[in-house]
Chain A
Amino acid sequence: MTNVHVSLKNVTKQFQREGSGGVVHALGPLDLELRSGEFFAVVGPSGCGKSSLLEVIAGLSPPTQGEVLFEGKSIGGRVPDGIGVVFQEDASFPWLTVADNIVLGLRKIPISNEERQARVDRAIAMMGLKEFTNAYPAQLSGGMRQRVCIARTLVMAPRLILLDEPFGALDQQTRLLMGEEVLKLWRQTGATIFLITHALDEAAMLADRIGVMSARPGRLMDVIETGWPRERDSRVVESPAFGEITARLWKSLRAESIKAIGKADAAS
């Protein structure tokens, strides 16, 4: 499986600053190829344009320059079929039950009612939400709500899953376990996964390849191959390679993170 699933060519993203008329150069220029079925993680200092990158890939916002190809077709600010996204923020709808939240993912997918139900049941079981099927998000913990959002993405059977710091709000132990579940799900679905994280250990533990981004405007400084086997879990943290990868990530990122902090100071 070495064919290219997503390819970004010379992509930049700029935002119009509100009021003042200036622009914020958030991202790029950046070239990136995601291989079909790989687990790709992105790390970078906060505010470096990671979420902007994800939104460009998802077709949620058009790139200012350059081109994004998904399965060979250009994405121009439209969400193509076959992409699922789990956002950093809680995106569960508080007025819907867990089941109704999840079935929302299937709105535009032409399948029979039985298949619909089967997919929802499978996603609910996979995310361990069985006893909460008819609960409302307010009755769940933050981690559980994020599982609802993952389940909503899973039922769509996406070929590309984009995850934007999905465990950012969770405690370390829960994060490690959720990481394992994402690995399991990655193996079961065969989808390509693009995971944004600020946790270096998370990237080192989960990904096949890790992209390291510079401070804003975010560029890819380095891509590190982890070389983990497909059958892996959180116990890879015990291997010496894990320490080497995290060390290398930190070496690349330290200077950039300092830059990012400096920028934040200058801005305030």
Chain B
Amino acid sequence: MKRYATPLRFLVLIGLFVGLEILCRTKVIDPFTMQPPTLIVRDLWNLLAAGKLNKAIAKTLSNAAIGFALAVSVGITAALVIHRVRILREALDPLFATYYAIPVLAFYPLLIIIFGLGNIPKIMIAFMLGVIAVIVNTLNGLDRVPRVMLKTARIVRMSPVETAFRVTLPYAAPYVLTGVKFAVAYSLIGIIGSEFVMSTEGMGFEISFAYTNFDNATMYPLILLILIVSISINLLVGLWEKRLLARRGLR
């Protein structure tokens, strides 16, 4: 079963690609709606080679990277603290449970009023989207650390901080990585979503600009690029996760 999985997934992907290509080429999907995938790939290549949008791409990716780094570092630290302080945990649990019902992006205009139309509001949106996923998943991992491991830490005389870095976090690492995967996706969504809504730069801005100008040769390649970036980072984290689990005999 498992041995077929990877080829099967590739087949599905290729099938989609070929199917779209045929639909576009036979004009079932008209060229004003969407270009054939091969042309999108070609356009992306041309776009990158021309370098006209490199600034926008760099802006979006660097903002997403900052939002991601903040969400992960703050998320893990917060989880460690919340895990130790019982009252905090009890106070925050309902927030965690309902957090993703809050449309974080709705706060974007407010953030612009406070911080101005720059990088900060977007990074904050990316951070706010991702951080709770990191906290919740890290807490899930921390909750599972067997008590015998904590006792062992005390027997070898680790301080609480050492215990966090040498025992609880390593044990929770696979769960933390699940949170990290969410943070990758959420930081991109946060930045690009903000750029869609209100911005003067970035890939999201360029996509919506291209959309209003019927510039499919720019819009689709950019969407494809976002997909490629997000999926490859997720695959990388996934590989790391797999290695961790395999070492522990869990997969």
Measured between alpha carbons, how far is A152 from B250 in the docked complex, in Å?
24
Is B52 an interface residue when CB atoms closer than 8 A count as contact?
no
Which chain B positions have C-beta within 8 A of A87? 148, 151-152
| Secondary structure type dominating chain A contacts | loop
Measured between alpha carbons, how far is A108 from B157 in the docked complex, in Å?
7
Chain B: minimal CB distance from A100 (Å): 10
Contact A138 B152 (CB under 8 A): no
Which chain B residue has the least Cβ–Cβ distance from A55? Answer: B151
Is A235 an interface residue when CB atoms closer than 8 A count as contact?
no
Contact B158 A58 (CB under 8 A): no
Given contacts A89-B146, A89-B148, A91-B149, contact A105 B156 (CB under 8 A): yes
Is B155 an interface residue when CB atoms closer than 8 A count as contact?
yes
Query: What is the interface residue range for chain B against chain A?
Result: 20 to 34
Is A172 an interface residue when CB atoms closer than 8 A count as contact?
no
Is A132 an interface residue when CB atoms closer than 8 A count as contact?
no
Given contacts A85-B155, A104-B156, contact A139 B249 (CB under 8 A): yes
Chain A: minimal CB distance from B24 (Å): 49
Chain B: minimal CB distance from A44 (Å): 20
Measured between alpha carbons, how far is A60 from B167 in the docked complex, in Å?
17
Within 8 Å by CB of B244, from A55, A79, A84, A95, lies A95
Interface string of A110-131 (1 = CB under 8 A from B): 0000000000000000000000
Given contacts A93-B149, A94-B249, contact A84 B167 (CB under 8 A): no
Which chain A positions have C-beta within 8 A of B157? 79, 107-108
Residues 148-181 (chain B) with a chain A CB within 8 angstroms: 148-149, 151-152, 154-158, 162, 166-167, 170-171, 173
Q: A93-B167, A139-B249 are in contact. List 17 more A-B contacts (CB 8 A).
A: A60-B155, A85-B151, A85-B155, A88-B148, A91-B152, A95-B170, A95-B171, A95-B247, A95-B248, A104-B166, A107-B158, A108-B157, A108-B158, A137-B248, A138-B248, A138-B249, A156-B156
